[in-house]
Structure 1
Amino acid sequence: TAAIDTPDADEIMRQANAKGWRISDVWNTHWHPDHAGGNAALKAQVGARVTGPSEVERIGAAPDRVVEEGDIVKLGKLTARVIDVGGHTLGHVAYVFDEAKLAFVGDALFSMGCGRLFEGTPQQMWTSLQKISALPDDATLYCAHEYTQSNARFAVTVDKSNPALLERSAEVDRLRAANKPTVPMSLRLEKATNPFLRAPLLKEAIAMPSAQDWEAFAEIRRRKDAFKG
């Protein structure tokens, strides 16, 4: 069994033990402590083998296996390919299971949102989002945080005439009121409602009709960074 990122080693072990699973591997998406902070504890407790980008070394030991775009990782009968989705951080990767049509995208893409650009450039992040967008529309995406409700509140400020967004926002409110999760999410739905993926379609709405696609993305990201809703 692999843990995709390690925000809390104790909780991961509680969940694994309750299900009778043995954590043999850790696959990190990026180096932030809420994603790789439990690596050392899991290695100490169960001897987990850590796979991830080289930047993981910034908060502890280097990964047992360093991966980058184009690499293949395996767990039992499952195979995933690694894609570079840097922008939120440098050396941020996603794990794509093509046969199962699912991907673990870390903080590169959220439900109706995307990660802040702590280290990368808008151009870099836009390129990364295009890689995710190129996956099959029926792919299931596993992001790392439950930010959907706040993301939806921002999304309607830049895409308020989008009926799919308004419908989804209302559904998210219903789910969260019932304390139910909104992730994972489908890529098809993200393409229809995520303002960061829809940046080329929102140039008029953000008063940048002549902007390049990445410039429109950068403006939407700037507005989200300043959003207080």
Structure 2
Amino acid sequence: MARLEIELIPALSDNYIYLLHEPQQGMTAVVDPAEAGPVLEALRRRGSRLDLALITHHHADHIGGLLELKARTGCRAVGPRADAHRIPGLDQLVDEGDRVVLGALTAAVIATPGHTSGHISYWFPEAEALFCADTLFALGCGRLFEGDAPTMWRSLQKLAALPDATRVYCGHEYTLSNARFALTIDPDNPRLRERAAEVEAVRARGEPTIPSTIGLEKATNPFLRAADPAIRRRLGLEQAPDFEVFGEIRRRKDRA
């Protein structure tokens, strides 16, 4: 596995900003800088310059520090072509199938609309790392602010198709509440019960639950498990298409 040093930077109330350092060529990127101050402090501590800012979507809690970072560091900003009109400061516009180079590593851009219409994710296959912001959470998924259930289901299926060992770096620390909700949908899943207990312990210690992995999410995240017969029976949707089952789970989470 190619090296990619990843630092989690907590921001705002529950956001994660990610600082990525590729040591072979010494390049550094930030993913979704919600605010500039914590990023600048991390760069100062590491003695690193900032080369790239990778943006997933237009929400303020993911781009709030971008313009200040550009002004302070001279970094280039990469972001979704579909959201160019809503994200000031983008230098490189990307969409499904495009590539972003960070030193010796290359990220594939995956279009993942649903939470927002222009949401994208960045997958570094050599580093086995996915930065999916508010599409896929640990034990959850994003609200459907600008999309519908079929759209989000297709996006989640793209991510579920990645290798099981892929580490999942999402945009927020929502895992504890997600775990408690997941148990109402899939209560007889022993791996989920085990994971929920682990999450409770980790959060009680004040530690992050991120990253997860694709394999772990497929085994425990109800939003990826719409085809599971036990979940379908519990929801009374045995014959429904997968996206309808997913949509019902999302509606229940919205009301939780």
| TM-score band, normalised by shorter chain | over 0.9
**Contact residue 5 and residue 28 of structure 1 kept, 8 A:** yes
Structure 2: distance between partners of 1:138 and 1:112: 16
Question: 1:217 maps to what in 2?
Answer: 246
**Contact residue 111 and residue 147 of structure 1 kept, 8 A:** yes
SS in 2 for 1:141: strand
Gaps of 5+ in 2: 1-27
Q: Deviations over 1:93-134 (max 9, x none)?
A: 111111122111111000000000000111010000000000
**Contact residue 35 and residue 66 of structure 2 kept, 8 A:** no
Structure 2: distance between partners of 1:174 and 1:33: 31
**Contact residue 33 and residue 59 of structure 1 kept, 8 A:** no
TM-score (norm 1): 0.96
SS in 1 for 2:191: helix
1:47 lines up with 2:104 in the alignment: no
1:136 lines up with 2:163 in the alignment: yes
- Tell me which moved more, 13-22 or 121-130: 13-22
Q: Deviations over 1:59-111 (max 9, x none)?
A: 433x1000000001001111011000110001111111111221111110000
SS in 2 for 1:83: strand
Question: 1:88 maps to what in 2?
Answer: 115
**Contact residue 37 and residue 59 of structure 1 kept, 8 A:** no
**Contact residue 137 and residue 187 of structure 1 kept, 8 A:** yes
Structure 1: distance between partners of 2:66 and 2:205: 33
Question: 2:135 maps to what in 1?
Answer: 108
**Contact residue 36 and residue 56 of structure 1 kept, 8 A:** no
Structure 2: distance between partners of 1:109 and 1:165: 17
User: Residues 1-229 of structure 1 correspond to what in structure 2 (within 5 A)?
Assistant: 1-54=28-81, 55-61=83-89, 63-201=90-228, 202-227=231-256
C-alpha displacement of 1:188: 0.9
Residue type of the partner of 1:218? G
Structure 2: distance between partners of 1:219 and 1:185: 24
TM-score (norm 2): 0.86
C-alpha displacement of 1:56: 4.6
SS in 1 for 2:169: strand
More strand by share: 2
C-alpha displacement of 1:57: 3.4
Structure 2: distance between partners of 1:64 and 1:49: 6
Structure 1: distance between partners of 2:211 and 2:43: 20
**Contact residue 134 and residue 170 of structure 2 kept, 8 A:** yes
Structure 2: distance between partners of 1:220 and 1:188: 20
Structure 2: distance between partners of 1:134 and 1:81: 14
Structure 2: distance between partners of 1:223 and 1:161: 18
Residue type of the partner of 1:219? E
Q: How many residues align?
A: 226
SS in 1 for 2:223: coil
Stretches of 4+ moved more than 2 A in 1? none
Q: Deviations over 1:172-221 (max 9, x none)?
A: 00001011110010111111110000111121111111110000000000
SS in 1 for 2:224: coil
Structure 1: distance between partners of 2:234 and 2:111: 30
**Contact residue 138 and residue 221 of structure 2 kept, 8 A:** yes
SS in 2 for 1:203: helix
